[in-house]
Amino acid sequence: MERVIYADVFFLINFSMDYLAIFLTRRLTHEKGHLGREVAAAVLGGIYAVTALFLPPAIETLVSLLIPILMVRIAFRCRSFSRLLKNSILLFGISFALGGVMTAAYYGIGKFLTAKGILVNGSPETLYSDLPIPIIALTALLAALFAYLWGKLTERTVNTKTITLTVTSCGKTKELLALCDSGNLLEDPLTHLPVIVVTKKAMEEILPHSLKTVFFENVLAADRISPRMMKKTRFIPTSTVTGETLLCGYIPDAVIIEGIEKKACLALDRSAADFEGRDAILPTVLLG
């Protein structure tokens, strides 16, 4: 008995599931999304799903490992290979979870709702047309919820990483214990450098004396800063649950992370005594 697969329907199903997987990946990794790029990545996934039907098994397996990487590159434009690889693995895992839950729920629900089925080589099969659209949509929603919860558990493990970084400023060197956080998406609006949020105690030991008045007492005194120090000073807009505010930022002479010098801006958080026992919150983009 031959199976007939409608390419347009098969593409639409895979496009929808791929877009859902990309959406969940973006929410879990806090990547900056763009609707056009995410749709383009999902279109690629849908096209590949149809094309894979005609590929030899060996080639299909190889290409299946490369497609998630290409989809992540299109959707999020990851600048570092490590971020690209981590996001690709997460996308692959979410897609796997979505597919597994969808298949299990689909056939399970079909048993109860389908009055009759067909036999293929002695095994019962359920057709897509057997189930009404609302049931398929509900199944997809349940699959998305399962994949999201699985991703959150994975994210929790990733986000607890702690590293030591070294900051050099005006001849002084300070080691900071930093909590890695993929949710820290702050950047300097002028140079677009990623921002490391630092506690008041740690910042006091890093800042030049001439900037301490501005940072800790009176932001309006910024006009008294020398032109040289003004070039290193930033005001970074941020939004929190309590509202919008400006963080005072400072670009140090050097930031060393895992033996590699990085370009970054430090921002003062006046409200935090520490971050779960750490001195700073480090955006994961600096780990790539």
pLDDT of residue 197: 93
Answer whether 161's CB lies under 8 Å from 155's CB.
no
Domain co-membership, 47 together with 186: no
CA atoms within 13 A on the CB side of 142: 14
Same domain, 109 and 185: no
Domain that holds residue 224: 162-287
Q: Which of 204, 208, 190 is nearest to 263 (CA)?
A: 190
Is 110 found in the same domain as 85?
yes
In eight-state DSSP terms, residue 198 is E
Q: Which residue, 138, 158, 178, sits at the end of a domain?
A: 158
State the residue for tokens 């999201």: 148
> Please, which pLDDT band fits residue 137 given cuts at 50, 70 and 90?
low
Question: Is the domain of 152 the same as that of 200?
Answer: no
Band of pLDDT at residue 165, cut at 50, 70 and 90: very high
Res. 148: pLDDT tops 70: no
Specify whether 91 is located in the same domain as 210.
no
| pLDDT-wise least confident of 64-78, 213-227, 229-243, 256-270 | 213-227
For residue 206, give the nearest of 254, 276, 157 by alpha carbon. 254
Cα angle 17, 63, 52 (rounded to 5 degrees) comes to: 60
pLDDT at 40 over 70: yes
Both 254 and 235 in one domain: the answer is: yes
Kindly tell me if the per-residue pLDDT of 198 is higher than 90. yes
Q: Given a cut of 90, is residue 82 above it in pLDDT?
A: no
Write down the pLDDT at residue 70. Answer: 92
pLDDT in tens, 92-131: 888 887 776 666 666 665 555 554 555 455 555 555 445 5
CA distances to 152, 247, 263 from 192, in Å: 28, 15, 10
Give the total residue count for the chain: 288
Q: Is the pLDDT assigned to residue 3 strictly greater than 60?
A: no
Question: What SS3 string covers 231-266?
Answer: CCEEEEEEEECCEEEEEEEECCCEEEECCEEECCEE
The mean of the pLDDT values for the chain is 78
Domain end (from 108, 131, 158): 158
pLDDT digits (tens, 9 = 90+) for 177-196: 898 887 788 889 888 899 99
Residue 58: is it exposed, middle or buried by C-beta count within 10 angstroms (0-12/13-18/19+)?
exposed
How many domains is the chain built from? 2
Of 158, 189, 211, the residue that ends a domain is: 158
pLDDT at residue 79, as a whole number? 64
Reported as a pLDDT band with limits 50, 70 and 90, residue 167 is: very high
Highest mean pLDDT among 65-74, 241-250, 271-280: 65-74
Query: How confident is the model at residue 8, as a pLDDT?
Result: 74
The answer to the question of residue 76 being in a domain is yes
Average pLDDT for 147-176: 73
CATH of the domain at 213: 2.40.70.10
pLDDT at 1: 46
* Confidence (pLDDT) at 158: 47
Please state the rounded mean pLDDT for residues 231-256.
Answer: 83
Range 19-34 average pLDDT? 78
